[in-house]
Structure 1
Amino acid sequence: MYAPRIHKSAAVLVAALALLAVPAAQAGDGHDHGDAPPAATGPALPRFAAVSEDFELVAVVNGTHLTLYLDHADSNSPVKDAQLEVEIGGQKIKVQPHAEGEFEATLAQPLQPGATPVTATVTAGAVTDLLAGELDLHADEHAEQGNASHWQSASGWVAGVLGALGAMAWGWRRYATGRRSRTGAAA
């Protein structure tokens, strides 16, 4: 009785395709590590930081909305009862306290791309300090990088699928050719 032999390359191909078809392993009950942390979905908002011996100031710009966080440099704790005056690109911005060590402001218009000097005067009790920093905006660059990485990821998947299909076709052809030659010799 005739038993067909499977070529090594066909066996390797079948094993590789079986591995691709198996879904990702899942942890059983009690063996997972909780919910995965959320992944960043887009570029981070522009921000700047200014530091002195006494204070650390970080500001986040979201369009025309500015959120500022003021902490003590030595303990990283919020500064209580502080007054803050901010100047961005030579223009004074009215800053309102929002919470302990947190301030908010609204810009008259969105900031232009490029480097913009920022200065802040902090008054907390008997301590007054001048902080300086620079806000560097390049929003268009970040958007293009995000789109490019998305397409690079998709093209990698497409190339992998096409490679697997090509390998399947090659293996099938070798198998069929070998079978024809064996069948022809037996007849």
Structure 2
Amino acid sequence: MATSPAWASPGAHGPNGEHLDGPSTSAQGSGAVPRMEAKSEDFELVARLAGGEFTMMINRFATGEPVLSAQIEVESGAHKVRVPFHKDLGDYATDDEALLKLLATPGAHPVVITIVAGSDSDLLEGTLNVTTEAAKAFVPGGHDHGHAHGDDDHDHGEHHWARKPITWILGFAGLAALGWGVARWRSKDALTAKQQGDA
């Protein structure tokens, strides 16, 4: 993610408070990450084809509030897949092989996204424009996104790389505390021995 171009989440607004409209892919450079935007009266989203996945950030259109844990399906061509929500990054992502193979070919790909969030549901449509250069750069299955796939609920607790530094810090803190305790114990023993020798 650090090496990818930054991408605005839905709900981003212009200088006059207006919502970001229309697909931004028309202004992409040849090396840009394929990206599309779509909106309706209820929802807006930004989607990208990067990091070996097709990912989406979804917000409420009126408030910019993130839509979390919704039921999402993506359809393009003959392929329709359910896209799980990822708690670690707050987005929706799929690495479905057939869908990625289709989307990663050069050209304009119509995409229909079904959103069911509580009692609200909607269909959003957009077009993902993929250049030849972007198609060559995209590697299906190259998960730099931080997701570990294979479970249904995608609660990535022990798999997410961001949690590892916390484990390391706690480990080092424990070792430091243990070392301090041993040093204090040895110092106390040395003092006791010295006092007994003086006596």
| Greater fraction of residues in helix | 1
TM-score after normalising by structure 2 = 0.46
TM-score after normalising by structure 1 = 0.49
